[in-house]
Chains A and B, each alone.
Chain A
Amino acid sequence: MKPTVDETLLTRWIDGDLSEAEAAALLETHPEILAEKETAATLGNLLRQANASTPDIPYADFFNHQIKRRIANDEDVFSRETSVAAAAAADEPMVFPLFQRLRWLSAIGFVVTLGLLVGLGLRSDENSHTEVVSTYSPAEGATVTSAYDSVAGATVIRLDGVPPIPADVVIGDVPAGRLSQLHRVIYSTQSGSLGCPMSILAGEKAGDPLPEALLVQF
């Protein structure tokens, strides 16, 4: 509605836009507006004081409504993206249809296969060593023990209590000790040209009256 001339003048007067002559003329015509101006000024002061301490959100209802609507929109977008991802997974081409349908069974199969491989490896190592089923010694006073030595990688049978073989018995082609310990010394001399002692030994068992052979030891 278009304001009247009086209202326009009244607003300009309250705002201080009228000249002194115009303000005097208006007051002469409408003297009651002085009280109205004081009331408006008082009311404005009170409103400014209240707003300075606790500023309220303008149009609070509208603000809250906008917030709720944006939250609702965000939730819709999130649920839409999730459903799109699920639909994409469902549309994924089935490279191995059986395996993809039996996902957990495939995983279990993998674990079982791995276990079999480990078991086969262990079995292979275990079956490489010689196994002693039983042992016995007919020799009087002899004892037999057997065990697998994993450090050496061999099965060891220990035969204890068997009488030792005399040192003068030649095993293979190797004498057990020095010849002078095995045979009787007939003659011994220090050879200056050789730089070591030289001995002539009787190649027979000790106690025989005549030697079967003569040995020379340097």
Chain B
Amino acid sequence: MAPLPSSRRIIWAGIAAAIAACLMGGTFLAQEAPKTAGATEQPCDGDVWCGLFVARAEAPSGAPADPAHAALQEKLAKAFPSHRHFQLVGEKTGSVYKEYECWIVPTKQLFLKLDSLGPDASKDGVHLHLQLWQEEHVILKSDAILRREPVFISGPAWGDGRLIMVLKLANDPQA
């Protein structure tokens, strides 16, 4: 088979790149489509999952394994390398609506109040005003754009461990 002239090679390479761009663009649009449809069906800005973990340097004797949140515990172990054991002590899922406050209470001692400022301009996250409450007191205020990856809030110490609040979009709480 005779080799293609250089001009044809360039042309075929350009066509291949254009096809790849179209396919990737289609993928991005496909990823965005459910969000758009969801926004038209309900005024909810997003669903969030909140979990409260106790981080300890060593696992207590008889502590049960938690395979349901293995991926999240692996991330916690990377973010907090001085702790090796992460135990989920409470979790809650809720929806956030613009101009409505949303209370996510995984435990009575430590919980979150969320105010949605609406979807992020890039449409891939939710702009939240976040408050971390310890019983009757606010101990943290933050403005954050919550996207696919979680946010870990390292809170007060408790016993021989530390409380860590995890907040993420609720598309896959186990991830």
Contact = CB atoms under 8 A, between A and B. Distances in A.
Contacts of B87: 174
Nearest to B166: A154
Interface string A104-118: 001101100110110
B42 interface: no
A172 B52 CA distance: 9
Interface string B132-175: 10100111111111111111111111111101000010000000
Contact of A159 (B17, B146, B155): B155
A110 B14 CA distance: 5
B156 A165 contact: yes
Given A155-B149, A156-B152, A174-B87, A135 B109 contact: no
Contacts of B89: 171-174
Contact of A96 (B11, B54, B106): B11
Contacts of A103: 7, 10
A95 interface: yes
Interface residues of B, number: 58
Contact of A135 (B106, B140, B148, B163): B140
A35 B13 CA distance: 93
Scoring B8, B89, B124, B151 by chain A CB atoms within 10 A of each residue's CB, the highest score goes to: B151
B28 A120 contact: yes
Contact of A153 (B75, B109, B146, B160): B75
A83 to B, nearest CB: 18
A118 to B, nearest CB: 11
A152 B76 contact: yes
Contacts of B141: 135-138
B78 A130 contact: no
Interface in B99-124: 106-107, 109-110, 122, 124
A153 B149 contact: yes
Interface of B: 5, 7-8, 10-11, 13-14, 17-18, 20-21, 24, 28, 52, 54, 75-76, 78-79, 87, 89-90, 106-107, 109-110, 122, 124-125, 132, 134, 137-161, 163, 168
6 contacts: A99-B14, A129-B149, A132-B151, A152-B152, A165-B134, A172-B106
